[in-house]
Amino acid sequence: MILTVKTRVKTEFVDITSEVNRLLASTGSVVDGLCFLYVPHTTAAVTINESADPSVRKDILKVLNDIVPWEAGYRHLEGNSPAHIKSTLVGASEWIAVENNRLVLGTWQGLFFCEFDGPRNRKVHVRVVPG
């Protein structure tokens, strides 16, 4: 299954928890298992963090943007090396348990698509493995 994500600015965290749950509900067949979420892009990532207070994702993004300098004599001429670096720091995939076609997240957890070189039309590959 593929989820599409439309990002609006250069860097942002988009909460995709509801969309993934909707996708899992639409399959109807899996009850228990593990959900694999994979970003096929090299300037984006996925992460799990607090969804209750939107300030948290802004603080995370701010520090990521502070840690990785926008200018540093980069060799890659496209100008988006900072996005590639953040992608490797955060990671291209996540795994989350699924029960009754819903993600089993902790109380405060949500699932976020991390855009580091937007705005763009992005994809997240979603698979469920039984077990």
Fill in the DSSP letter of residue 29: -
Please list every residue from 8 through 37 that binds its own copies, using CB under 8 A: 34, 36
Query: Contact between 53 and its own copies (CB under 8 A)?
Result: yes
Q: How many residues line the site for its own copies (CB under 8 A)? A: 56
Cα Rg for the chain, rounded, in angstroms? 15
Tokens of 78: 């496209």
Smaller CB distance to its own copies: residue 1 or 25? 1
8 Å CB contact between 45 and 13: no
Give the shortest CB-23-to-its own copies separation in angstroms.
Answer: 16
How many C-beta atoms surround the C-beta of residue 25 within 10 A?
Answer: 11
Smaller CB distance to its own copies: residue 91 or 119? 91
Query: Contact between 107 and its own copies (CB under 8 A)?
Result: yes
**Helix, strand, or coil (residue 14):** strand
Q: Rounded to a whole number, what is the largest CA-CA distance in the chain?
A: 51
Residues that bind its own copies (CB under 8 A): 34, 36, 38-42, 47-50, 53, 55-56, 58-60, 62-64, 66-69, 72, 74-78, 81, 84-85, 87-97, 104-109, 125, 127-131
